[in-house]
Amino acid sequence: MFVRTATASTTAVALVGAGALLLPAADRTEASAQRTNPVVVAHRGASGYAPENTLAAVDAADALGIDWVENDVQRTRDGVLVVLHDTDLKRTTNVEQIFPDRAPWAVKDFTAAEVAKLDAGSWFGTQFTGVRVPTLTQFLHRLERNRQKLLLEIKSPGTYPGIERDIVRVLRKEGWLDRSHVRDRLVIQSFGADSVRKVHALRPDITTGFLGTPAVADLPGYAAFTDQINPSYATISADYVAAVQRLKGPHGKRLRVNTWTVNDAAKAAKARAFGVDGIITNYPDVVRDATS
Ligand code: G3P
Ligand code: CA
């Protein structure tokens, strides 16, 4: 397994963690007995250091030796999948300046060519001027170039009927549904349980995650279609994490827990003590240092 880490100890951590977290279904062995450190996932890329959900944020994670990158996927008016968190373009691009008459500037109302004209870097820092909103295809290419892995979030699935099928189509076209990607390098998650269910139905081999904190009594229902329960840090306890991990998911492996968004060392240490499998963070170096 490809690992880029700076020290022998962190390399060992990454090797154990990479085998433990992302759970790809096929031949994952139960590694929990050996697992000591949660896997670190760069939230929207290393978004503490570069504009979120851009190729610059992917590269920033890579420069820190972080394999796993989380992103947010939506769809343009002409059906192109793009990587962006908010359902409108205002906060992270100069859309109001370039298209002043297009309020409320919803992603779904713009074509891919229009989105490609926007500056998605200047808001974060002048050194990122000219950085663009990537398409999912461009994002996958950059991850592939860097040999990184993807925790793909389907954002606001109710806004984009059929987006699950579109995502699967792009992943297949770009070679991300071959055995090695599905086993080791891809997880698809959403706050929408129906969306996660659809992904599981379309491609049962893909590892899936539900974003949220279902009641313990409801967890067995989720375990029918999701391999991960990924809750906000503010909602979890050691007992909750253990309750999730006691269950087996659709691939017969125990459910995993990846918590978000943990950006400081104290919370990272606490999440680790709770027994989580992964931590999603804007500052992956800080979390790695605090948990290894
Ligand atoms: O991956 C977890 C996290 O990204 C969910 O929240 O709003 O940052 O997409 P959000
Ligand atoms: Ca997200």
211 lines ligand 1 (CB under 6 A): yes
pLDDT value of position 231? 98
86 lines ligand 1 (CB under 6 A): no
- Distance from CA of residue 97 to its chain's centroid? 30
The answer to whether residue 251 is catalytic is no
> Could you tell me the distance, in angstroms and rounded to a whole number, from the CA of residue 8 to the centre of ligand 1?
31
> Could you tell me the distance, in angstroms and rounded to a whole number, from the CA of residue 260 to the centre of ligand 1?
7
- Ligand 1 test: best mutation among 22, 41, 47, 72, most atoms within 8 Å of CB? 72
pLDDT value of position 143? 98
Write down the domain spans for the chain: 18-27+35-79+133-291
> Could you tell me the distance, in angstroms and rounded to a whole number, from the CA of residue 8 to the centre of ligand 2?
31
pLDDT value of position 35? 53
Specify the residue with its C-alpha closest to ligand 1, atom 10: 85
Q: Right CATH number for 18-27+35-79+133-291 from 3.20.20.190, 1.10.287.130, 2.10.240.10, 3.50.50.60?
A: 3.20.20.190
pLDDT value of position 36? 77
Specify the residue with its C-alpha closest to ligand 1, atom 2: 260
d(CA 83, CA 72): 5
Q: What is the DSSP letter of 38?
A: P
71 lines ligand 1 (CB under 6 A): no
pLDDT, tens digit, for every residue of 148-192? 999 999 999 999 999 999 999 999 999 999 999 999 999 999 999
277 lines ligand 1 (CB under 6 A): no
Q: What three-state secondary structure class fits 260?
A: strand
Q: Count the Cβ atoms, other than its own, within 10 Å of residue 194.
A: 12
Q: Which residues are CB-contacts of 227 (< 8 A; sequence separation ≥ 6)? A: 23, 25, 187, 207, 208, 209, 249, 250, 251, 253, 255, 256
pLDDT value of position 12? 32
> Could you tell me the distance, in angstroms and rounded to a whole number, from the CA of residue 53 to the centre of ligand 2?
9
Query: Which ligand 1 atom sits nearest the alpha carbon of residue 189?
Result: 1
The answer to whether residue 43 is catalytic is yes
pLDDT value of position 14? 34
Low-confidence ranges of the chain (pLDDT < 70): 1-35
